Amino acid sequence: MTTFKACALVLLAGGLLFAPLTAEAASKKKAKAQAAAAERKESRAERPRHSAPSVDKAISLNILGALYGTLGLTYEQMLSRENSFTAGLDYAGRGIAGNSFTILGAHGSYRWWFEQPRAMSGFFAGPAAFIYNLTWSYDWYNVNNARIEKQSSGGFFFGAGAEGGYQYVFDNGLLLNGGANLGYLAGGINSAAGGPSLGFGGPYLGLLGSVGYAF
Domain boundaries, position 15: 1-47
| pLDDT value at residue 169 | 96
Does one domain contain both 65 and 103? yes
Does one domain contain both 158 and 122? yes
Q: Is residue 84 part of a domain?
A: yes
The domain that holds 86 is classified in CATH as 2.40.160.20
Terminal CA-to-CA distance of the chain, rounded, Å? 86
The tens digit of pLDDT for each residue in 173-215 reads 999 999 999 999 999 877 665 566 778 789 988 889 999 999 9
Q: Is residue 52 part of a domain?
A: no
Percent of the chain with pLDDT over 70: 69
Task: Give the three-class secondary structure for 24.
Answer: helix
**pLDDT over threshold 80, residue 53:** no
Does one domain contain both 41 and 70? no
Q: How many CB atoms lie within 10 A of CB 215?
A: 13
Does one domain contain both 81 and 131? yes
> Mean pLDDT over all residues of the chain?
80
- Would you list the DSSP string of 144-193? TTTEEEEEEEEEEEEEEEEEEEEEEE-TTSEEEEEEEEEEEEEEEEESST
How many domains would you assign to the chain?
Answer: 2
Q: Is residue 195 part of a domain?
A: yes
**pLDDT over threshold 60, residue 57:** yes
Does one domain contain both 113 and 13? no
Helix or strand (DSSP H, E) at 8: helix 2-46
Does one domain contain both 178 and 73? yes
Per-residue pLDDT band for 66 (boundaries 50, 70, 90) equals confident
| pLDDT value at residue 10 | 45
Report the pLDDT averaged over residues 1-24: 49
Model confidence, pTM: 0.68
Angle (CA) 151 156 160, round 5°: 150
Given 47, 66, 85, the domain boundary residue is: 47
Does one domain contain both 136 and 42? no
Does one domain contain both 30 and 129? no
Does one domain contain both 139 and 78? yes
**By mean pLDDT, which of 60-69, 103-112, 191-200 is the weakest?**
191-200
**pLDDT over threshold 90, residue 134:** no
Please give the C-alpha separations between residue 15 and each of 1, 12, 158, 214, in angstroms, as whole numbers.
21, 5, 90, 67
Does one domain contain both 3 and 91? no
| pLDDT value at residue 191 | 66
Tell me the β-bridge partners of 94.
101
Q: Is residue 208 part of a domain?
A: yes
Task: Tell me which range, 121-125, 154-158, 196-200, is most confidently predicted by mean pLDDT.
Answer: 121-125
Q: What is the rounded distance in angstroms from the CA atom of residue 161 to the CA atom of residue 178?
A: 17
Burial (Cβ within 10 Å: 0-12, 13-18, ≥19) of residue 176: middle
Does one domain contain both 108 and 154? yes
Residue length of the chain? 215
| pLDDT value at residue 142 | 66
Does one domain contain both 38 and 138? no
